[in-house]
Amino acid sequence: MNSDAVTTFFALLALTCDAFVLAALLARATRRRTAWWDSLVTMIGPSGLALAAVIAVTATLGSLYLSEVAHFPPCRMCWYQRTAMYPLALLGSVAAVRRDVGFALYGRVLAAVGAAFSLYHVLLERFPGLETGACEVDNPCSIVWVRHFGVFTIPFMAGSGFVAIITAYALAAAADRPEETSA
């Protein structure tokens, strides 16, 4: 399997993550929020920890594939994103096995840090002039190794994963506090 097919698959997974996040945001924001939000919490909340772990493990394996198999050298911003994702894969998996909903808060914070780095990395790709010396000269953060559907680059896909992890943890936490589901 060539790297274009694999990165297209990862872009489709990122698109799925984005659809999941959009559905949760719409359910939370709409006037009929209680019905939509309650059904999301009921359907996904109990397995939110596992969903977040699966997303983090998939993103971790994807990043390893891209650097070790496809030979795309990670830049400094990629490493910062990995520093947030790799612990989410390991600790999030342990939290899912132990059903430790208390980890959802820490997971959301770590995923938010990773999402911030992803956003900055996407901005560097789109506007290389924003780079202020954070990246190496021989491996700049503005290199776009892949682009699918016009927008899905590697840092964009990572950001999609981080935001989906935050959403999955939010649903898990809401399912753990039933009195908040219809608030």
pLDDT value for 39? 84
pLDDT at 141 over 90: no
What pTM value is reported for the model? 0.90
| Residues 105/63, Cβ–Cβ less than 8 Å | no
Helix axis angle, 154-176 to 33-44, nearest 10°: 100
**Bridge partners, 152 (sequence order):** 148
Identify the DSSP state of 46.
G
**pLDDT one-digit tens code per residue, 43-85:** 888 999 999 999 999 999 999 999 999 999 988 899 999 999 9
pLDDT mean across residues, the chain:
89
What helix, strand, coil percent values describe the chain, rounded to 5? 75, 0, 20
Q: Which helix (H) or strand (E) holds 88?
A: helix 76-98
**Amino acid letter, residue 117:** F
Categorize the per-residue pLDDT at 33 as very low, low, confident or very high, splitting at 50, 70 and 90.
low
Categorize the per-residue pLDDT at 136 as very low, low, confident or very high, splitting at 50, 70 and 90.
confident
| Residues 17/25, Cβ–Cβ less than 8 Å | no
Helical ranges in the chain per DSSP H: 3-29, 33-44, 48-64, 76-98, 103-126, 154-176
pLDDT value for 32? 59
